[in-house]
Amino acid sequence: MKRIHVAVGVIIDPTDRILIAKRPEHLHQGGKWEFPGGKVEIGETTEQALIRELKEEVNLTVFSSEPFIKLSFDYPDKQVLLDVHSVIAFTGQAKGMEDQQIKWVSKAEVIEYNFPEANQPILEKIISKQQ
Ligand SMILES: Nc1nc2c([nH]c(=O)n2[C@@H]2O[C@H](COP(=O)(O)OP(=O)(O)OP(=O)(O)O)[C@@H](O)[C@H]2O)c(=O)[nH]1
Ligand SMILES: [Mg+2]
């Protein structure tokens, strides 16, 4: 099976809240919460994919991002490489462009949501960075 390279954004607003979105039921890991993002296409860098996906999915314009964590995870039906970046420099009003529910949550609240199993190390790193 080919590992799918995914650009994922931990988007943090000036009040230190993080943007999460609910994956539509019919998709892989559907019904769970996620950090917005999607597959890196051929010829794209991770940053380019992140900019494109965050515009498409939540209507935010990203100016820069920082590598946050990179992790491989094998689901029974899919292998993913989550290339996670933190995003602080962005403009726009977040909106679920694919009719998905979105929420801004504090770093303490984020662990109360049900994420795909692969996301565990991301959540741990977010919590450990809490002041
Ligand atoms: N965006 C995103 N994908 C995640 C997360 N955690 C995780 O396991 N994934 C997995 O990464 C894979 C690709 O993400 P995706 O479905 O968002 O890709 P995409 O936006 O390009 O979707 P598309 O193929 O419908 O265009 C999915 O199998 C998904 O389950 C996460 O926090 N955010
Ligand atoms: Mg996506």
> pLDDT tens across 42-79, in order?
999 999 999 999 999 999 999 999 999 999 999 999 99
Cα 1 to Cα 14: distance, rounded to the nearest angstrom: 40
What value of ipTM does the predicted structure carry? 0.95
Arithmetic mean of pLDDT over the chain: 96
Q: CB of 61 within 8 A of CB of 94?
A: no
Nearest 10 degrees: CA dihedral of 91, 82, 71, 111?
60
Distance (angstroms) between ligand 2 centre and the Cα of 116 equals 13
B/e letters for 77-116, b = 16+ CB within 10 Å, e = fewer, are eeebbbbbbbbeebeeebeebeebebbeeebeebeeeebb
Query: pLDDT over 90 for what percent of the chain?
Result: 97
Q: Return the H-helix or E-strand segment holding 54.
A: helix 46-58
CATH class entry, domain 4-126:
alpha beta
Indicate which residue's Cα is closest to atom 16 of ligand 1: 38
98 is in an annotated binding site: no
Residue numbers of the chain with a pLDDT score lower than 70: 130-131
Residue 61 and residue 55 in contact, taking contact as beta carbons nearer than 8 Å: yes
Residue spans of the domains in the chain: they are: 4-126
pTM metric for this prediction: 0.96
